Structure 1
Amino acid sequence: MVSSRYWALLALALMAGLGTPALAADLPTFTITFKPDGNFDPQRLEVPAGRFKLVLVNESQEPVEFESLPLRKEKVLGPGVKSFVVLNVSRPGDYPFFDDFHQDAKGTLVVLPKP
């Protein structure tokens, strides 16, 4: 028989998991779109330093992969898929990114100092 303590811990774990999407929803949000011609829109995106959400939209009919080596972040998207990554970048600077499946597609995330 399962104890009431087990159920209390399970309920707490579920509530903790449900809070995570709300935290991502409250972040400043920016979008990068993978276009059918193999380019990004925009190719240069300015964001403030700190924690933010980067929405990735694949408008192409092929899989794509957002990848940034300096940010240590990658995300694969199937055709027509929309997803996001949460980044926390404290150092201002230029951070290149690319589509690992289409090596010619390159862009830059420009992190600006906090106001």
Structure 2
Amino acid sequence: MTALLASGPPARADDLPTLVFRQHRFVPDRIVVPAHVKFRLRVQNTDDSADEFESSDLNREKLVPAGKDITVFLGPLDPGEYKFFGDFHQDTARGVLVAQ
């Protein structure tokens, strides 16, 4: 019973780490996630043009249409920092995911 209580309640969709494309930037541009577990990352695009969530470090590349959300499945990750960027706006849309 103690082990069940220590693990906490199951994660809800609202608890997903979320990145937002806003004015061709990521908000926030740094997200902390737990290491060594699988998780979902929600990516919302509030801009009026499509962009692409891309990361060589995470081996992911997904189109995010304007005004839409996508889910990116990641992990388990070793502790460390993993860079990501918006492929269509690489000069402004940059960020880092930190697994700890």
**Same fold, TM-score > 0.5, yes or no:** yes
Among residues 46, 52, 57, which one is paired with 1:59 in the alignment? Answer: 46
CA distance in 2, matches of 1:43, 1:89: 21
Percent identical: 41
TM-fit CA distance, 1:90: 2.8
TM (norm. structure 2) is 0.80
- Asked whether the 8 Å contact 1:51–1:88 carries over to 2, the reply is yes
Post-superposition, which runs of at least 4 consecutive aligned residues in structure 1 deviate over 6 A?
none
Give the match for residue 73 of structure 1: 60
Give the match for residue 8 of structure 2: none
Cα RMSD (Å): 1.5
Among residues 7, 29, 33, which one is paired with 1:43 in the alignment? Answer: 29
**In terms of Rg, which structure is larger?**
1
TM-fit CA distance, 1:46: 0.4
TM-fit CA distance, 1:64: 0.6
Relative to total residues, which structure has the larger helix share, 1 or 2?
A: 1
How many residues are treated as equivalent by the alignment?
86
- Matched position secondary structure for 2:24: coil
- Asked whether the 8 Å contact 1:89–1:111 carries over to 2, the reply is no
TM (norm. structure 1) is 0.70
* Structure 2: tracts of 5 or more residues without a match: 1-11
